[in-house]
Amino acid sequence: MKIWQGFIEGLKKIKRNLAAVVKNARASLYLKKNKFKVPTNEIIKVGFYIDFPQGWDKLSPIYKCMKENEFFFPQVIVDKKTGHEQIKALEHVDFSETGEVIFNDGLLNIKELEYDYFFYQRPYNSFYPSELNVSKVVKYTNICYLPYGYAGSDVFNSGNTNSEFFRYVYLGFIEIGEERRILNEKFKVNCQKGYQYFENHGYPAFEKYLDYKSSGIYSHILWTPRWALGEIGGSHFLEYKDEFLKLNEVFPNAQITFRPHPLMFGNFISKGLMTKNEVEEYKNKMLSNGIMQSSNDSVEDDFDSTDILLTDYSSIMIQYFLTGKPIVYCPAEYELNEEYKRILDGVYVANSWQDAVDIMKKLLDGKDILKEKREAIIKQYFTDVKGSSKRIVTRIYDDYMERKNLFRR
C-alpha cells in the first residue's frame, strides 16, 4: 500500500511540475509581448485594483504622486460589494465624476480599459474575481506589485514569493532583501531578458511617518492583536483577551483602543475558536468597560491618536516605530528577519501579560528609556525611504518612455 501511495504521489508531483512549466512558458510569452508592445496612450494610464481597502495606505502614496504628475492618469477599480465604510479608507481617491474610479460589477473588460500598468494589492489569485485574475490581466497590460505588508520574518517568504502570482509580475517593488533575492532567482531567465524586474526603491507607506514628532507624553494605548495562530500566526488575543478587558481598571487615567487585524475575528470563527455570538459579546464587554474600538479604516488615524502600541507580530510595527512612539511587542515564536531585527533594540518586549502591564505602567509614568534609541535607529536605517513614491513613479515613467522610444529608432 505504501509503495502504491508513493507511486501516486510521484505522479501528482510530476503533473504539478509539468503544469508549472506550461504556466511559466505562457507567462513568459505575455510578458515578452507586453515588453515590446507599442504604447499608444498619450499619458500613462495606470490601474489600481483595490480588494483590501484597509491596506490602501501602502499604494496610496504612489497613486497620489501619479495624480500630481501630468504624464499619468491613475484609475482605481473597486468592487461594488465593497462597503461604504471600507471605501472611506481610500484616502486621496476622488469619487466624483472624473473617471478616476470604476466600480466592478463582475462585467469589467480589462482589455477595453487599455492600461499601461496595473497594480494589485495582494499576491494571492484566490482573492480576485475571474475577470481580474492576474493570468488574464497579463494578456493586456504590465503587472506591477508593491507588498501590502512589510514582512518581518522568513516564514512568510513562501506566500510572498508564490509563483502562481509572481510569474506574471513585470515590475515588482520589493524592499525585503530575501524576498527580492528569491524572486530574482526563481525567475532568473525572464529577469535576464528584461521581461521581469524585482527592485528596491523604498517602501512608500513609511514616508509620512518620518514626519511624526513624539511628545514623550503617553496616555492612549492601542492594542493590535494578530489574526492567526500557528506557523504564520503569533496572535495572543485568545490568551490575553480577558485581561485586556480589565485594562481600564489598571490604568483608569488612560484611553484604550482595540484594533484587531481585519481578518482576525473571521478567521477565529472559521477555525471554531470563537462563535459569532462570542465575538459580539466580547465587543459589547469592551464598550461597557470603556474600551474604544477602531473603525479599522486608515491605520494612520489610529496612529495619530494613540501613544503606545501594544502588539503581536504585525507588518505595521515598523510604521508605528517610525513615529518615534513606543512599542510593547508580544513576540511570535518565529524568528524575525534582518529588516525587523533592526528595530528590536528600540522595542519593549513583553513575554507575558504581566510584562506588558509593567512596561505600559512605566511608559504612562513618563519613563521611556528607549526613546533616544528609537530615534537613533530611525536615523541610521530609515531616512532613505524619503522619496520612495517618486522613485517608483519615475521608474514606471522611464520604463514607459524606454519602450515607447524603441519603436522610434
Considering the domain architecture, whether residues 175 and 310 belong to the same structural domain is answered as no
Q: Give the pLDDT confidence of 16-53 residue by residue, as tens digits.
A: 666 777 899 999 999 999 998 888 888 999 999 998 88
* 343-350: long-range pairs with CB below 8 Å, 24+: 343/317, 343/318, 343/374, 343/377, 345/370, 345/373, 345/377, 346/321, 346/370, 346/373, 346/374, 346/376, 346/377, 347/317, 347/321, 350/310
Considering the domain architecture, whether residues 267 and 235 belong to the same structural domain is answered as yes
Considering the domain architecture, whether residues 288 and 336 belong to the same structural domain is answered as yes
Considering the domain architecture, whether residues 121 and 178 belong to the same structural domain is answered as yes
DSSP-assigned letter for residue 54: G
Q: Give the pLDDT confidence of 198-211 residue by residue, as tens digits.
A: 999 999 999 988 88
Instruction: Tell me the pLDDT band of 281, cut-offs 50, 70 and 90.
Output: very high
Q: What is the pLDDT of residue 107?
A: 82
Q: What beta strand segments (E) does 279-369 contain?
A: 292-293, 308-311, 327-329, 348-349
Considering the domain architecture, whether residues 217 and 83 belong to the same structural domain is answered as no
Question: Is the pLDDT score of 407 beyond 70?
Answer: no
For the sheet containing 220-224, what is the strand order?
Answer: 292-293, 255-258, 220-224, 308-311, 327-329, 348-349
Question: Is the pLDDT score of 233 beyond 80?
Answer: yes
Task: Provide the angle, in degrees to the nearest 10, between the axes of the packed helices 60-67 and 388-406.
Answer: 60
Considering the domain architecture, whether residues 151 and 262 belong to the same structural domain is answered as no
**Cell numbers for 48:** 489600481
Question: Is the pLDDT score of 214 beyond 90?
Answer: no
Considering the domain architecture, whether residues 171 and 48 belong to the same structural domain is answered as yes
Residue 406 CA to its chain's centroid (Å)? 35
Instruction: Tell me the pLDDT band of 218, cut-offs 50, 70 and 90.
Output: very high
Considering the domain architecture, whether residues 71 and 129 belong to the same structural domain is answered as yes
Q: Give the pLDDT confidence of 300-353 residue by residue, as tens digits.
A: 888 888 999 999 999 889 999 999 999 999 998 888 999 999 999 999 999 999
Considering the domain architecture, whether residues 158 and 226 belong to the same structural domain is answered as no
For residue 269, tell me if it sits in a domain: yes
For residue 13, tell me if it sits in a domain: no
Residue 283 CA to its chain's centroid (Å)? 26
Question: Is the pLDDT score of 371 beyond 70?
Answer: yes
Range of the domain at 130: 26-202+387-406
Quote the CA–CA distance of 301 and 326 in Å, as a whole number. Answer: 17
At 393, give phi and psi (nearest 5°). Answer: -65, -40
Residue 364 Cα distances to 212, 221, 336, angstroms: 19, 9, 28
Q: What is the pLDDT of residue 4?
A: 62
Instruction: Give the pairing type, strands 169-173 and 348-349.
Output: unpaired
Q: Give the pLDDT confidence of 76-121 residue by residue, as tens digits.
A: 999 877 766 667 777 778 777 677 888 888 888 999 999 999 999 9
User: Looking at the 3D structure of the chain, how many domains does it have?
Assistant: 2
